[in-house]
Amino acid sequence: MAKQSAAKVDIENPNSPGRTERVDADKYNAMKTALLAVLPEATPGFTVAETKTRLLPLLPDALFPQGATAGWWLKAVQLDLEAKGIIAREPTKPLRLHRLR
């Protein structure tokens, strides 16, 4: 099993303004890099399922062996980046995501 660093980052959630959670920095940064690499700037963007399919090959296997926990981390990073105004969701069903910057 891969050793994780003790470094943590604070993440936000647009549904709970002012509240933060501390999470593993290595996993957060790997997911953030992959997520921003695959999301288009143009609307309507990708569904969460499409996004996950596209970013899984970009994740380091040492942190996400065979994609383990990638869904949870995708959601956590998605919400944090939404709260920070870096990505946005379209009010569609299913939900679609795209970059703002």
> What digits encode the pLDDT tens for the residues 13-27?
998 888 999 999 999
- In angstroms, the CA 78 to CA 38 distance is 12
pTM value is 0.91
Q: What is the reported pLDDT for 1?
A: 46
Which amino acid type is present at position 12? Answer: E
pLDDT (0 to 100) of residue 6: 82
pLDDT at 78 over 60: yes
Give CA separation, 33 vs 36, 59, 79, 91, 92, in Å.
5, 9, 15, 24, 25
User: Which residue ranges make up each domain of the chain?
Assistant: 8-99
